[in-house]
Amino acid sequence: MKPRVLVTGAAGLIGQYVVKTAARWAPQWEVQALTRADFDMTDHVAAEHVLQRLQPSAVIHCAALSRTKDCERDPQLARRINVDATAHLARLCADIPFIFLSSGEIFDGRRGWYQEEDRPAPINVYGKTKAEAEQAVLQNPRHTVIRIVLTAGTSEHGDRSFVEDMCRTAKAGKNVTLYADEFRCPLPAGVIARVLWELVQRECPGLYHLGGSERLSRWEIGKSLLPWYPELNGWLVEGSSQDHRGAPRPADLSLNCEKIQRLLSFPIPGFRSWLTGRERQGVDLWEYET
């Protein structure tokens, strides 16, 4: 029998790509996709029953309350999902590999190109919950934390990625304001999925950063998408984080990814280089195909 890996948050953006690329990157594994409809991971008893029934050999934990504004609106829910449920799942997986997707939001964004050794200093609720969850996961030397920042992709219902959010806003006839002084290192969801499958098979636990090799402003990211998403033409507006209202947002979340790159069989691409190297011919722009 094939070893079984559980993928939580399988209805989310990255979870969807992990599940649908398993046959390509991890054919020797049996994949069990888990969504919120399958079980409430904040119900600790239900979580225990699921793990006992499925007996996985590894878990990729993608599920989270990940929208910053939702976490600010309900900090208690954010903590139950992002911290308590994660810590409980990690305890249940004490004897097997457990890969937890965290976020660059654990940093304050004052300088960028963060390394794994840099001290977390979150400035919003989402970042605080992710930082606390990391501590719980990394108590086990068999477990892994991967910090990501900004993911591009196409989800089942068109409401999961930042690209989909931008297109939906433009189609509604509203301007999409993008800050020229806020920096990220975005990656396609398909690349992240391939990295996750390589880590599952290599069993190299620890803390890793995973981001694109290019540091781009939000404004640069938006402009690079125009040839692929013509619906954005005329709706992108250059702005400044000085005018931001709402939950605190780190200015620069570029990540140094040298540590994880040394483990991988392929180079981590930059966002613009990825786009310029693609041909859109009825395939998913954001899936890693080669």
Please check whether residue 250 is in contact with residue 108, taking contact to mean a CB–CB distance below 8 angstroms.
Answer: yes
Residue type, 281: Q
pLDDT at 97: 97
**41 is written with which tokens?**
């991971």
Residue keyed to tokens 């690079």: 224
pLDDT at 52: 96
Spell out the residues 6+ positions from residue 155 whose beta carbon is closer than 8 angstroms to its own.
Answer: 12, 13, 16, 161, 164
Query: What is the average pLDDT across 244-270?
Result: 96
| 240 occurs within a structural domain | no
Query: What is the average pLDDT across 123-152?
Result: 97
What are the phi and psi torsion angles at 279 (to 5°)? -125, 120
Residue 235 per-residue DSSP state: T
Please check whether residue 148 is in contact with residue 184, taking contact to mean a CB–CB distance below 8 angstroms.
Answer: no
**278 is written with which tokens?**
């693609």
Residue type, 173: G
Alpha-carbon distances of 59 from 10, 62, 128, 144, 210, rounded to whole Å = 12, 9, 23, 10, 18
| 204 occurs within a structural domain | yes
| 133 occurs within a structural domain | yes
| 232 occurs within a structural domain | no
Residue 203 banded pLDDT, cuts 50, 70, 90: confident
Q: What is the DSSP string of 80-99?
A: IIIIIIHHHHHHHTTTS-EE
Count of Cβ atoms closer than 10 Å to residue 52 Cβ? 9
124: domain CATH number?
3.40.50.720
Helix axes 189-202, 13-20, angle to 10 degrees: 60
Residue 279 has pLDDT above 90, yes or no: no
CA-based torsion, 18, 19, 24, 30: positive or negative: positive
pLDDT at 280: 64
Q: What is the pTM of this model?
A: 0.95
Residue 290 has pLDDT above 70, yes or no: no
| 233 occurs within a structural domain | no
Residue 155 has pLDDT above 90, yes or no: no
Q: What angle do CA 218, 198, 2 make, to 5 degrees?
A: 135
Residue 281 has pLDDT above 60, yes or no: no
Residue 102 banded pLDDT, cuts 50, 70, 90: very high
Please check whether residue 209 is in contact with residue 255, taking contact to mean a CB–CB distance below 8 angstroms.
Answer: yes
| 140 occurs within a structural domain | yes
| 109 occurs within a structural domain | yes
Distance between CA atoms of residues 104 and 133, nearest Å: 13
Please, is 55 exposed, middle or buried when counting C-beta atoms within 10 Å of its C-beta (0-12, 13-18, 19+)?
Answer: exposed
Residue type, 98: F
Query: What is the average pLDDT across 156-164?
Result: 87
pLDDT tens-digit map of 50-101: 999 999 999 999 999 999 999 999 999 999 999 999 999 999 999 999 999 9
Buried b (16+ CB within 10 A) or exposed e, 105-121: bbbbbeebbbebeeebe
**33 is written with which tokens?**
């996709």
- The parent domain of residue 203 ranges over 4-157+186-214+253-276
Residue type, 290: T
Query: What is the average pLDDT across 163-174?
Result: 96
Count of Cβ atoms closer than 10 Å to residue 169 Cβ? 15
pLDDT at 157: 82
pLDDT tens-digit map of 12-36: 999 999 999 999 999 999 999 999 8
pLDDT at 284: 85
| 228 occurs within a structural domain | no
Total number of domains in the chain? 1
